[in-house]
Chains A and B, each alone.
Chain A
Amino acid sequence: MLGASLVAIALVAGCVAGSGGKPAAAPASRAAIEAAPLPSGSSGTDGSTDGGLAGAEPAGGPVTPGQFTLQFQALLGQHTMLAADMMRGRIRNDPDVAQAANAAIGKNTDALGKLFAAELGTDAAQTFAPLWSGHVTGLFNYARGLGAGDETAMAQAKLQVTQIEDKLADFFAGHSHGQLSKQQAFDGVADHINHLLDQADQYAARDYEKSDATYREGYAHAFTGGQALGTALLTPTQAKVTETPSWRLRSALTQLLGEHVELVVGALRSGATDAPDFKAAADSVNANTTALAGAVGTLFTPAAGHSFEQLWADHIDLLVAYSAALAKGDDAAKAQITQGLNGFEARLSAFLSTATGKKLASQQLAKALNAHDSMLRQQVDAFVAKDYVTAHDVAYSTYQEMFGLSGQLAQAFGETVAKRLPVGAAQTGLGGEAAIIGGR
């Protein structure tokens, strides 16, 4: 998945020596899960996180290097999914959906601009925003050409996008403290854009399975490539935080849980409208479920991974059944499913609370999960009612809230696992060959 170019970027970002870091300021973060606050954690062991309370959107003001990179990854991931949704809406000749997705992308672009303003200054943010918006416009135009079978429009849009890739590469290379060459930055930006163009081509060809695979690769690239680009915008000393285990775990869980939100949103909409891309969307949700269960299985025990998968599968089954009930206009089934989800939320939160030695408070976690499921249902309700603006607004918030929740989970998981890990060196020698070994 990770292109050679991005490996190169990551290596450069990680290896070039530079100036010292600036002081890490406490974030003025908004509480993303205010409705159901979990116990407020302390800072991560490396000071990179805020205990998970902040959403992916910056509230303005300074951010720590760890937060900057994490928020950049999460916002880039959200942007990738929203841009793909916008393009698919255009390809289906569904302009209202495309417009609503476009508005959500605008909100995401604003958030990226705020983040860059906090880290790089206002001038940099003002340079970045129109370039970023320009590439979105190019993607929009490409999808419109694709939907209309207008090859001239597609070619023009590709040219537009390529020109902006070049300017974005200048932007990232210029703010990288000499850590990124223009070519490396260009390759990173081009990988992002190519994922979006490719998934659109595949979607237009009705190869939904391949399109969704590319869609997921594009999202994953937002995290790997986002880390490479994001850390290049920091000094090498600042960027070291992204090599710490607690940061890596937080980033990985944010990726998996954010993907869960985006994929479920898509699958529910396709399910509720009985769209032909439903099966591919549902298969992607299953792949994400497998990855999440794998994460729990490795952090705790295989038995825990298995139990988690059963619980999570109940959750997914109920949500998809809700979309089927919507498709059939079956209000009684919807009510029954909503009841069932309440049971799931209690069971999953009890499971996670037990697994983490009560580092996660069961009742509060259940409320947070309830809010999550409720928002997933609200967005698909709105989508079926053709209130696409509300659908996208709620889905946008669901992703943001999951960012906060993933921070809480990562912290609790990390602390729990750390307690059972070995500490220090291994005494694995008795000296019989000391003359040979020590003479190395």
Chain B
Amino acid sequence: MRVRGLVSLAAEAVMAVTLTACGSNAAGSAAAPARAPDPAAAPARAPDPAADQFKSVRSYATVAPPTRVRVPAIDLVTPPLEQLGRMAKDKSIALPRDPLRAGWFKDGPRPGQPGPAVIIGHVDMSHAPAVFFRLREMQPGQVVYVDRADGSTEKFTVTKVRQVAKTDFPTQDVYAPDLQSSLRLITCGGQFDHDAHNYLDNVIVFASPA
């Protein structure tokens, strides 16, 4: 600011000199030689205020979408993430088509943006473990890395791990908007209902920026 102020001051001084010189020429006779301006006769205009130079920030930084989750504590490195919306029927989150891939809820915050970013994955398939099979082993304090499409990585620390009945799923705690950056990883857990072909619980890992 000081440098800019001095430059501005110098420019103003030059401008003042030029204007004063022109004024002299106009007022004097054509034959009269140009004279150096008299600073006392024409005081220099005050420099423009610093506020004149102000420009508001216009550099909105888009956070890139997530591409991969890494959790060293459970030896997890996911394949590229799917992008998920909602199920039309019951408005629950859509499921990854590939049980070996996790998916990010694309109509919510991106990891690293303010608000809760949500990534879900299957715990198992019909005959084998799936991508989030070991999510239930996670503990507070463990680290989660989320890689993004622009090559950047956001680091989170697990704050709590909850196993909740699906009939009592905390929709507000998981999805509701706020302005604190956070991450939720979700999969199934608990007992399996063989009639309904569903687990009775969800395991939810809550994490905050490290």
Give residues in A with beta carbon < 8 Å to B.
Answer: 244-246, 248-249, 252-253, 256, 270-272, 274, 278-279, 282, 285-287, 289-290, 293-295, 297-299, 302, 305-306, 309-310, 312-314, 316-317, 320-321, 323-324, 327-328, 413-414, 417-418, 420-434, 437-438, 440
Chain B residue nearest to A313 (CB atoms) is B56
Given A272-B51, A422-B175, A425-B166, check contact A431 B197 (CB 8 Å).
Answer: yes
Query: In the bound complex, do residue A297 and residue B121 qualify as a contact, i.e. CB atoms below 8 Å apart?
Result: no
Q: Give the number of residues in B that approach A within 8 Å (Cβ atoms).
A: 70
The 3 closest A-B pairs by CB, nearest first: A245-B176, A429-B188, A271-B51
Find chain B residues with CB under 8 A from A298 CB. Answer: 109-110, 113-115, 177, 179
Find chain A residues with CB under 8 A from B48 CB. Answer: 324, 328
Query: In the bound complex, do residue A422 and residue B188 qualify as a contact, i.e. CB atoms below 8 Å apart?
Result: no
Scoring B residues 7 to 34 as 1 if CB is less than 8 Å from chain A, else 0, what string do you get? 0000000000000000000000000000
Query: In the bound complex, do residue B99 and residue A430 qualify as a contact, i.e. CB atoms below 8 Å apart?
Result: yes
Given A290-B57, A427-B198, check contact A422 B124 (CB 8 Å).
Answer: no
Find chain B residues with CB under 8 A from A309 CB. Answer: 57-58, 60
In this assembly, does B133 line the interface, its C-beta being within 8 Å of a C-beta of chain A? yes
Query: In the bound complex, do residue A430 and residue B92 qualify as a contact, i.e. CB atoms below 8 Å apart?
Result: no
Chain A residue nearest to B131 (CB atoms) is A428
- Starting from the known contacts A270-B51, A440-B189, 14 additional A-B residue pairs (CB-CB under 8 Å) come to A252-B178, A282-B51, A286-B56, A293-B60, A302-B63, A320-B56, A426-B93, A429-B188, A429-B192, A430-B99, A431-B124, A433-B129, A434-B194, A438-B190
Find chain A residues with CB under 8 A from B126 CB. Answer: 430-432
- Min CB gap A300→B, angstroms: 10
Find chain A residues with CB under 8 A from B57 CB. Answer: 286-287, 289-290, 309, 313
Given A274-B49, A290-B57, A425-B92, check contact A430 B124 (CB 8 Å).
Answer: yes
Find chain B residues with CB under 8 A from A282 CB. Answer: 51, 54
Chain B residue nearest to A440 (CB atoms) is B136
Find chain B residues with CB under 8 A from A427 CB. Answer: 92, 95, 188, 198
Query: In the bound complex, do residue A428 and residue B54 qualify as a contact, i.e. CB atoms below 8 Å apart?
Result: no
Find chain B residues with CB under 8 A from A327 CB. Answer: 49, 51
Most A C-beta atoms less than 10 A away, residue of B58, B114, B125, B133: B58
Listed A/B pairs (29) with beta-carbon separation below 8 Å = A245-B173, A245-B177, A246-B176, A249-B178, A270-B51, A272-B49, A282-B54, A286-B56, A293-B60, A302-B62, A313-B58, A317-B55, A324-B49, A414-B176, A420-B86, A421-B176, A421-B177, A423-B91, A426-B187, A428-B123, A428-B186, A428-B188, A430-B99, A430-B197, A431-B192, A432-B125, A437-B133, A438-B191, A440-B136
Query: In the bound complex, do residue B55 and residue A306 qualify as a contact, i.e. CB atoms below 8 Å apart?
Result: no
Scoring B residues 115 to 134 as 1 if CB is less than 8 Å from chain A, else 0, what string do you get? 10010111111111110110
Q: Give the residue of B51, B92, B120 whose beta carbon is less than 8 angstroms from that of A323.
A: B51
Find chain B residues with CB under 8 A from A314 CB. Answer: 56
Question: CA of A145 to CA of B107 in the docked complex: distance in angstroms?
Answer: 55
Query: In the bound complex, do residue A245 and residue B178 qualify as a contact, i.e. CB atoms below 8 Å apart?
Result: yes
Query: In the bound complex, do residue A424 and residue B171 qualify as a contact, i.e. CB atoms below 8 Å apart?
Result: yes
Chain A residue nearest to B136 (CB atoms) is A440
Scoring B residues 32 to 76 as 1 if CB is less than 8 Å from chain A, else 0, what string do you get? 000000000000000011111011111111110000000000000
Given A298-B109, A426-B188, check contact A271 B54 (CB 8 Å).
Answer: yes
Query: In the bound complex, do residue A429 and residue B172 qualify as a contact, i.e. CB atoms below 8 Å apart?
Result: no
Q: Which of B165-187 contact A (CB under 8 A)?
A: 166-167, 169, 171-173, 175-180, 186-187
- Min CB gap B123→A, angstroms: 4
Q: Give the residue of B99, B136, B177, B194 whose beta carbon is less than 8 angstroms from that of A299.
A: B177
Question: CA of A425 to CA of B120 in the docked complex: distance in angstroms?
Answer: 11
Query: In the bound complex, do residue A431 and residue B49 qualify as a contact, i.e. CB atoms below 8 Å apart?
Result: no
In this assembly, does B209 line the interface, its C-beta being within 8 Å of a C-beta of chain A? no
Query: In the bound complex, do residue A244 and residue B172 qualify as a contact, i.e. CB atoms below 8 Å apart?
Result: yes
Query: In the bound complex, do residue B177 and residue A417 qualify as a contact, i.e. CB atoms below 8 Å apart?
Result: yes
Query: In the bound complex, do residue B90 and residue A424 qualify as a contact, i.e. CB atoms below 8 Å apart?
Result: yes
Query: In the bound complex, do residue A279 and residue B132 qualify as a contact, i.e. CB atoms below 8 Å apart?
Result: no
Chain A residue nearest to B186 (CB atoms) is A426
Question: CA of A440 to CA of B136 in the docked complex: distance in angstroms?
Answer: 9
Chain A residue nearest to B107 (CB atoms) is A420
Query: In the bound complex, do residue A320 and residue B54 qualify as a contact, i.e. CB atoms below 8 Å apart?
Result: yes
Query: In the bound complex, do residue A429 and residue B178 qualify as a contact, i.e. CB atoms below 8 Å apart?
Result: no
- Min CB gap A8→B, angstroms: 16
Query: In the bound complex, do residue A305 and residue B197 qualify as a contact, i.e. CB atoms below 8 Å apart?
Result: no
- Min CB gap B150→A, angstroms: 13
Question: CA of A311 to CA of B87 in the docked complex: distance in angstroms?
Answer: 35
